[in-house]
Amino acid sequence: MKTNLILWLAGMMCFIVLLISCTKDLDQFPSVETTSEQVYTSVEGYQSVLAKLYASFAVAGNGRGDDDPDMAGTTASWGYLRVYFNLQEIPTDEVIYTWAGGDNLVEIQFMNWGASDTWVNAMYYRIYYTIAICNEFLRNVTDEKLAAFAEADQVAIREFAAEARFLRALAYSHAMDLYGNVPFVTEQDVVGAFFPPRITRPELFRYLEGELSEIAELLPTGPQHAYGRVSREAAWALLAKNYLNAQIYTGEARYGDCLDYCQKIIDAGYVLQEDYKKLFNADNDQRTEEIIFAIQADVAHTSTWGATTYLVNGPIVGSMKAEDYGVLSGWNSFRTLREFVGIFNAADTRGDFWTDGQTLNIDDPSSSSQGYSIVKFTNLKDDGTFVTDEGMVSTDFPMIRLADVYLMYAESVVRGGGGDLQQALNLVNQIRHRAFGSDEGEISTAQLTLDFILDERGRELFWEATRRTDLIRFGRFTGDNYLWQWKGGVVDGRATDAKFNLYPIPVTDMAANPNLIQNTGY
């Protein structure tokens, strides 16, 4: 995988490497390098490729700990989820990062990145790697290709194709949110070197709206599907997320549509898990009542130094004992900021801050003793035991879960999208009852404001890669409407340029593709 989008697209069309990093419920094992003519000859072959599509969100390579990487270059070992977390969380009020060991995130932390930034480029090419392998898979699910299969096998492979389309839609949704106007390639494009056309953000939104609506009708419902694989409700939830942000993406509010799809998910029978912490431990693959779609991790199958390994080890700092979280040592990497600490009530169990030996104020971001740590993800099983491979973990990342759907419903009601205000209040209070363990945290209708919802999304969804998108939607990410320590690179924060609401198209792709136009200000 290279930094030239055109070259790697051509390469992916002609030859696909299937050294599969396995996912536990797809139950696949590493295979040897093979050609598409060989692999797309059985249901098992299609399933092995599908496993790779899922794994592309979790791991950076095909061997233990991201060895044998999918991509070339200095960022080869940085997997999708690790980079996505960094771009969605580190420039916000939820994270202060100690840059050590080569992972220099100063420009991301201080909202001062440019079109040559390593992390900006890494995310862009990770997204398009996933899109490329999804496209290659879909090119092999044609009527002509499937004619040789039995009818039952054709049904199974077409369902795999719907899953691949969802995974591509998820990657394109991230491209739309992070970069705006981007290159657009599908399985319908010719194989070979060409310049992908530019699709505008509103055009991509409309494409994803149609694609996800169609996919939802092809996917099974959650209870009928294996955990870790996408369901109809996952497609509905991604539609709801895009509708919630439609005013940012297209200039037109779509809160009523967000409400409709949230209601579909609510009516599907999901319920909140009783114990918040169990959503983020090594047995969270059992939380199917709330987790709608997860990026899987398993030390025996998807071993990586990114994904949730990063999220478990990274915030273990100072006097914290690594074994209390199911790993061997802390990385002293990230903590949180005083402004974020300030939105929690002392009785809110989600605010599990580590304060021993840590200061609340941060005068030096490079000091891991400054800033409270906060415990969210652990590698502990329900019984308190753990299994690790030199610190790698088995905790899944909940990309989509019910509590987010509840909060999207409530926000859409408050923003005037229709719906039922009393239901919105009840949904929020269910979340808060779990957090407080009693009705102490419940609020009234008068308290259900947009400011409250932004704070509640922070309290409930912190470190789940939603904060940047939320702050932009509320007009708090750039500018001076909301300042936090080290925003803009100064100790008490400062206003930042609105251009940082989007990341730039990497300079390498701008040079390679004459169809692209750089985002304003870069």
Q: In this predicted structure, what is the pLDDT of residue 142?
A: 95
Given the structure tokens 């035991």, which residue do they identify? 385
0.85 exceeded by the pTM?
A: yes
Q: How far apart are CA 192 and CA 359, in angstroms?
A: 56
Are 460 and 451 within 8 A, CB to CB?
no
Q: In this predicted structure, what is the pLDDT of residue 192?
A: 77
Q: Angle CA(409)–CA(176)–CA(258) in degrees, nearest 5?
A: 15
Q: How far apart are CA 401 and CA 406, in angstroms?
A: 9
* Six-digit token string for 347: 């009785």
Give the relative orientation of helices 43-55 and 118-139 as an angle to the nearest 10 degrees: 160
Q: How far is CA 69 from the centre of its chain?
A: 20
Q: How far apart are CA 255 and CA 260, in angstroms?
A: 9
Q: What is the H or E stretch that residue 397 is in? A: strand 397-401
Output the tens digit of pLDDT for each of the chain's 522 residues: 333 333 333 333 333 333 333 334 443 333 334 566 778 999 999 999 999 999 999 987 777 767 776 776 767 668 999 999 999 999 999 999 986 555 689 999 999 999 999 999 999 999 999 999 999 999 999 999 999 999 999 999 999 999 999 999 999 999 999 999 999 999 999 877 789 999 999 999 999 999 999 999 999 987 667 888 999 999 999 999 999 999 999 999 999 999 999 999 999 999 999 999 999 999 999 999 999 999 999 988 877 887 899 999 999 999 999 999 999 999 999 999 999 999 999 999 999 999 999 999 999 999 999 999 998 999 999 999 999 988 889 999 999 999 999 999 999 999 999 999 999 999 999 999 999 999 999 999 999 999 999 999 999 999 999 999 999 999 999 999 999 999 999 999 999 999 999 999 999 999 999 999 999 999
SS3 category, 496: strand
Half-sphere exposure of 291 (CA within 13 A, CB side): 27
Q: How far apart are CA 175 and CA 76, in angstroms?
A: 19
Q: How far apart are CA 141 and CA 158, in angstroms?
A: 7
SS3 category, 236: helix
Q: 241: closest CA among 161, 176, 289?
A: 176
Given the structure tokens 């697209």, which residue do they identify? 9
Q: In this predicted structure, what is the pLDDT of residue 76?
A: 64
The domains found in the chain, sorted by start residue, are: 5-95+105-227 (1.25.40.390)
Report DSSP letters for 26-89, one per residue: TT--------HHHHTTSHHHHHHHHHHHHHTTT-SBSSGGG-SBSS-STTTT--HHHHHHHHHH
Q: What is the per-residue burial (b if ≥16 Cβ within 10 Å, else e) of 312-347?
A: bbbbbbeebebeebbbeebbbbbbbbbbbbebbeee
